[in-house]
Chain A
């Protein structure tokens, strides 16, 4: 495997521009100060963490996500290219979903195979021919990005349903400003705390045309037992809107109301943190008690906006992912600014042949899999595992894609043995309103705390970092 690109230090030992001030600070700060601040951060986070997880029970502490005190830094130039790419990609996602549920030109043009849509379990026939407010579907997207070298960012995954993690982005910044005010004096870090304002403006812009000029927005949560409940209440709090559960809403004459102390109050925009399957027992899973009976009917009548729209899952699985460059070209007539990780679609004979010949160096993933299940990591697999996947691939090639093992970039991270490089990824959040696209500079950086590990997932020992975008002079 190639040596990973380090975001702070060049191969010749010189420091990259973005990190000049940070590197100087890191070399001056006594290790015990760093250690002290780390403990302080841990203490504060435990307190907040207590609000995260206390909830559940005594394993609260295990459920804290580790926070690394060394920020990850991007220059304004890097960010502006990245954000143009994110905006372009999100636009394409929206146009693609609209097309899939209406004219299906991209299918007829033979660019995306039909079965990827029709046989996709999250394709929602209920959305066929339905108009959604402002023709927008993915209002809040989390686009996972990894970096390979100084110039190359790859999109690893599009999250077009209910991406989470933004509360960590905001809390991480909050805690960094508290612990290291001197660093913020030396670096011109673009703020992220306006995320809530941007989100609210986005949500309001998406209200149905029938709504008043000051539309009523709510956040819909599955309730206190959901693992992301803290984020739901955090967001409602920052937005200054009601955090509702399904039972707080009811539908009358296709209009959504919430039950308030002053009687029914009309709701225009629902930022729902509830999967399609659960939002309306009359339309989807009849056993769901989390949703609102009749919500889909109100939605179809155009009386309420759901963010994200119903059926967006059809755009974010791994098979569709491999077509994203074509999707961008098809709808926008532009070259994609952000690259995809090179992906072999095993459904195509020549790709399959290549994959079968090179299994030992590829990562093979199930099209609908997530969380690292049903995955083969070629370089780390033994013969038996490789043969097992060879058989699976031959039997059902449509169900798999393959990618090279990537050398994700590393960032300096404060670990047991001191400051050491660790692999990172980035999830920026892209807000698409009817007026414009808004992207707060930064996002959630996840870091694999184990040396050499590429797994940034919090369930497997991943942590998070504050992400800085430096403002240009």
Chain B
């Protein structure tokens, strides 16, 4: 297929996934920020959201140090000057979709197109919490519908595989970032690790990735940091875990390689990351430091993305 088509499909899937992640991030941030004041005191949830999304620097250019709830929500959800705002994700996804219209199924196109039209109905000014909640669930539903449409209707060929690779590369990045929220959110000095606030923060993270119920099913005990990390990093049953993402990335890259009759650097990189994740134990992760482990992973994941681009998409 045309490199441009593959590139568009890859990024289309990434942007749809990113929009979903941003919606989840805003969700969890709002939850954290709404903690009873008795627990909280002055915390920094909204700034942490910016750090997690990786756009603190851009935010500073627009709003300076003023990381209020309203500013951060506007910036992450709607700001035209933030290239990764939810609105821009949808815009870019739709532009990509239009230029590869022939590579998409009707269902995929209609999901993207109708969401793009609906997006205009949400005004950015003075959004109430209810409106924001409605907006966030609209974004998450759009991603679900797009993903479902792709899964149910696309031919299983390189077009499908490239879009899946894009989705999982983005999802791995997003899972890692959401897990890292906890690193950026300060625990007030009055609170101690394992205390009620700490517990609440970790369970909010699970909830934001729809994993709280799964957590209980898998571990059958109360929420603990290393178990949350285990679920989101190492547990292959968990569809958002880094291991699961890399299992899928490897698989789809191998499908592409088999189809084209040639393996390359991207396949090797993906496989080695997957192997390393499969062989990791939570003790090792915490020994390195969770935040450091995640940082390393994010840059490794970026390198894979760049390699895929170089190998196929130019």
Contact = CB atoms under 8 A, between A and B. Distances in A.
Contact of B102 (A54, A233, A245): A233
B268 interface: no
Interface stretch (A23-31, A164-172, A235-243, A329-337): A235-243
A283 interface: no
Contacts of A54: 113, 117
Given A50-B113, A245-B4, A259 B99 contact: no
B310 to A, nearest CB: 12
B169 interface: no
A135 B255 CA distance: 44
A92 interface: no
Contact of B3 (A51, A237, A243, A260): A260
Contacts of B111: none
B6 interface: yes
A357 interface: no
Contacts of B256: 261
A244 interface: yes
Nearest to B6: A261
A261 B159 CA distance: 10
Contact of A261 (B1, B95, B117): B1
Contact of A259 (B4, B101, B113): B4
Nearest to A219: B102
Interface in B1-60: 1-6
Contacts of A243: 101-102
Interface residues of A, number: 21
A247 B2 CA distance: 11
Interface in B67-121: 95, 98-99, 101-102, 109, 113, 117
A262 interface: yes
Contacts of B147: none
A292 interface: no
A389 B158 CA distance: 61
Interface in A251-298: 258-262
A223 B95 CA distance: 11
B312 interface: yes
Interface in B214-271: 256, 260
Interface of B, secondary structure class, is helix
Given A224-B95, A242-B2, A261 B102 contact: no
Nearest to B120: A58
Contacts of B113: 50-51, 54
A424 to B, nearest CB: 31
A51 B109 contact: yes
A428 to B, nearest CB: 26
A248 B256 CA distance: 21
Sorting the interface of chain B by its residue count into under 10, 10 to 19, 20 to 34 or 35 or more gives 20 to 34
Interface string B198-228: 0000000000000000000000000000000
A55 interface: yes
B149 interface: no
B314 interface: yes
A261 B312 contact: yes
B162 interface: yes
A261 B260 contact: yes
A55 B98 CA distance: 8
Nearest to B117: A54
Contacts of A262: 260
A259 B7 CA distance: 11
Query: Which interface residue of B98, B102, B256 has the most chain A CB atoms within 10 A?
Result: B102
A51 to B, nearest CB: 7
Nearest to A245: B4
B260 A224 contact: no
A262 to B, nearest CB: 5
Point out which of A54, A236, A237, A244 has the most chain B C-beta atoms below 10 A from its C-beta: A54
A262 B3 CA distance: 8
Contacts of B260: 261-262
A223 B99 contact: yes
A233 B101 contact: yes
A229 to B, nearest CB: 8
In the A-B complex, the 7 residue pairs with the smallest Cβ-Cβ separation, listed nearest first, are A261-B312, A233-B101, A259-B3, A237-B102, A261-B6, A224-B98, A224-B99
16 contacts: A50-B113, A55-B98, A224-B95, A233-B101, A233-B102, A236-B102, A237-B101, A237-B102, A242-B2, A247-B4, A248-B4, A258-B2, A260-B2, A261-B6, A261-B162, A261-B260
Interface of B: 1-6, 95, 98-99, 101-102, 109, 113, 117, 158, 162, 256, 260, 312-314
Given A233-B101, A262-B260, 11 more contacts: A51-B109, A54-B117, A229-B98, A237-B101, A247-B4, A259-B2, A259-B4, A260-B1, A260-B2, A260-B3, A261-B313
